[in-house]
């Protein structure tokens, strides 16, 4: 790994992915070396946030995963040049925010275009709230190509997680709205100029209220998405009513408790991995370490 210090002298601070492109080595080995080498310093960009995962005991883990964080959200530099590290970290953080804003603008453009083109657009704006969640809501969106789950075709990074909550709309209007969003989903995914994925769900406010009273896995995912979701389009009044319901049911506190558990598990795993000596990682550590398709299901 002596080449790494030479590389950083020549190129300045780099992300984990940029290092691996120049020094072909196992990401796990690179991560451990960078974290253990006294001549290097690391700076992580953005935030870690809760993911709910059926494959994890207690369902709670943090995103990004340890290696994805190292690859895309961590800058490695020389310990005697902290100013250069800080400057590169700011540059990358600004780019991540820019990507997140662009994806949110795209989602707004799609939804507003669908609604405004309809004869019943005023009714929809009054009776429907569109929210955006996921990476975009945390300003942690990325453009890393990844396979879309149903087709296997590659799309451009973080998907557009859109939650549509309706109140007092007829089934026929809801069905037409669903069809219009699905058509845009197909267009964006198949068009070479976009290759974006929309993940969306449409549900009535009564279903939202019912899910807020439950705490099984499906309701946990649904409630987390409502708690993190940002206003995108439609009814501001309905948006604030949803947020008030989420608070009344104590969802932020429940999610905060899960985040604390996930953070402790993450730190325990990190410390164990830094001193890991066996030839095979156990399933729990592997799940926290490796970059996976970090995708939430909608309920």
Q: How far apart are CA 97 and CA 136, in angstroms?
A: 9
- Find the range with the poorest average confidence among 145-159, 181-195, 256-270: 145-159
Phi, psi of 78 (to 5 degrees): -80, 140
Q: What is the mean pLDDT of the chain?
A: 91
Tell me what pLDDT residue 27 has.
87
Question: What ranges in the chain are assigned the alpha helix state H?
Answer: 2-11, 16-22, 27-36, 66-72, 82-116, 121-127, 171-190, 205-212, 217-228, 236-248, 251-274, 283-289
Look up the pTM and report it: 0.92
Contact indicator for 184, 110 with CB cutoff of 8 Å: yes
Closest by CA position to 32, among listed 272, 263, 287, 265: 272
| pLDDT band for position 175 (cuts 50, 70, 90) | very high
Tell me what pLDDT residue 185 has.
95
Tell me what pLDDT residue 55 has.
81
Chain centre distance of CA 148: 15
Q: How far apart are CA 26 and CA 178, in angstroms?
A: 44
Q: Which residues pair with 63 in a beta bridge?
A: 49
* Digit-coded pLDDT (tens) for 121-152: 999 999 999 999 999 999 999 998 887 766 76
CB atoms within 10 A of CB 39: 10
Tell me what pLDDT residue 284 has.
62
- What value does the mean pLDDT take over residues 280-285? 64
- What value does the mean pLDDT take over residues 168-185? 97
Q: How far apart are CA 159 and CA 157, in angstroms?
A: 6
- Topology of the domain comprising 100-249: Beta Polymerase; domain 2 (3.30.460)
- What value does the mean pLDDT take over residues 166-173? 97
In the three-class reduction of DSSP (H, G, I as helix; E, B as strand; rest coil), residue 256 is classed as helix
Q: How far apart are CA 63 and CA 43, in angstroms?
A: 16
Preceding omega of 64 cis (within 30 degrees of 0): yes
| pLDDT band for position 106 (cuts 50, 70, 90) | very high
Contact indicator for 231, 239 with CB cutoff of 8 Å: yes
Considering only residues 274 and 78, tell me which one the structure prediction assigns the higher pLDDT.
78
Written as six digits, the tokens of 67 are: 């290696």
Q: Which residues contact 113 (CB under 8 A, 6 or more apart)?
A: none
* Digit-coded pLDDT (tens) for 184-241: 999 999 888 889 999 999 999 999 999 999 999 999 999 999 999 999 999 999 999 9
- What value does the mean pLDDT take over residues 67-87? 96
**Residue spans per domain, the chain:** 2-80+262-289, 100-249
Element (H, E) at 42: strand 40-44
């Amino acid at each position: 790994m002596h080449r790494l210090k030479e590389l950083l002298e020549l190129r300045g601070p780099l992300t984990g992915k940029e290092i691996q492109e120049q020094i072909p080595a196992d990401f796990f080995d690179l991560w451990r070396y960078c974290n253990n080498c006294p001549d290097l310093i690391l700076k992580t960009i953005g935030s870690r946030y809760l993911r709910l995962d059926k494959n994890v005991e207690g369902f709670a883990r943090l995103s990004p995963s340890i290696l994805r964080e190292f690859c895309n959200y961590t800058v490695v530099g020389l310990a005697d040049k902290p100013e250069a590290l800080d400057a590169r970290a700011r540059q990358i953080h600004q780019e991540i925010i820019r990507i997140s804003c662009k994806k949110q603008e795209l989602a707004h453009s799609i939804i507003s275009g669908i609604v405004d083109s309809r004869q019943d657009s005023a009714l929809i704006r009054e009776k429907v709230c569109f929210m955006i969640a996921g990476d975009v809501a945390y300003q942690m969106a990325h453009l890393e190509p990844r396979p879309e789950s149903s087709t296997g075709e590659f799309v451009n990074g973080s998907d557009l997680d859109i939650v549509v909550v309706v109140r007092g709309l007829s089934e026929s209007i809801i069905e037409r709205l669903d069809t219009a969003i699905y058509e845009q989903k197909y267009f964006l995914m198949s068009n070479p100029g976009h290759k974006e994925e929309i993940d969306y769900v449409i549900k009535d406010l009564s279903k939202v209220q019912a899910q807020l009273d439950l705490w099984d896995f499906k309701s946990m995912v649904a409630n987390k998405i409502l708690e993190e979701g940002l206003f995108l389009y439609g009814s501001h009044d309905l948006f604030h009513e949803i947020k008030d319901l989420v608070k009344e049911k104590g969802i932020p506190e429940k999610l905060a408790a899960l985040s604390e558990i996930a953070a402790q598990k993450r730190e325990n795993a990190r410390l164990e991995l830094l001193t890991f000596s066996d030839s095979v990682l156990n399933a729990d550590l592997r799940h926290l370490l490796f970059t996976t398709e970090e995708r939430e299901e909608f309920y």
